[in-house]
Amino acid sequence: MRQNRARSLLVSTPRRVLLENNLFSSMMAGVLISGDANFWYESGPVTDVVIRNNTFLNCCTSGHDQVPLLITPNIMDIKQSQGCLHRNILVEGNTFHVFDSRVVEMISACQVRILNNKIIQNQDFPAFFPHGSALKFTHCQVDAIRGNAYSGTGQAEVVMDAKTRLSEFDNNAGFDSEIKKETVNQTPLRF
């Protein structure tokens, strides 16, 4: 899926989802998982998603506040929420070719595993957010971030808010070993 003006793929089903062996290249997120409880009210949570062996190629060329893989509940005030909306998400064996620093952002997701992915930073386009974090989690439960590799400028940062819990962070090449803590962002992401 390439040269799409919006995201490549919008996932919003409680059924099992397998995204495997695809190419995503679009002006916004390559994959957007959104439980819309804010505007359209058209979808709810995902409960079993595997994103495996895909290539994300220079997504987010529009400059909108998005990342190649974006998972969000799309609600205005995340600090009021209890528990997680999305569950059981495996991101494994993907290759992200990115011109920007931001790669994955998840909000209100539990049972998350990010395993054996490659992030390759290029200079195909000027970066919109050169000081952003490669992986960012808000109000999540992350079971594992393991075996990932980053090659690019500096080290890849991982940022989590105070409500996010991380069980395992191991064997990630090119990543800063210190997990950054951040307050909950009150500004909703733009879609």
137-169 pLDDT tens trace: 999 999 999 999 999 988 999 999 999 999 999
pLDDT exceeds cutoff 60 at 186 = no
Residue 77's pLDDT is what? Answer: 61
Averaged pLDDT of the chain: 88
183 pLDDT higher than 80: no
Confidence label for 6 from pLDDT (cuts 50, 70 and 90): low
**Percentage with pLDDT > 70 across the chain:** 85
Token pair recorded at residue 148: 């990932």
Contact predicate 147/121, CB 8 Å: no
- Of 23 and 78, more confident: 23
Residue 71, amino acid: I
Ranges of beta strands (E only) in the chain are 2-4, 9-11, 17-20, 23-26, 31-34, 49-52, 55-57, 69-72, 86-92, 95-98, 104-107, 109-115, 118-121, 135-138, 141-146, 149-151, 158-161, 165-166, 169-170, 180-182
Instruction: Tell me how far apart the alpha carbons of residues 8 and 85 are, in angstroms, rounded to a whole number.
Output: 22
pLDDT of 94 higher than 50: yes
Question: Which sequence spans correspond to the domains of the chain?
Answer: 2-174
Asked if 134 and 114 touch (Cβ cutoff 8 Å), the reply is: no
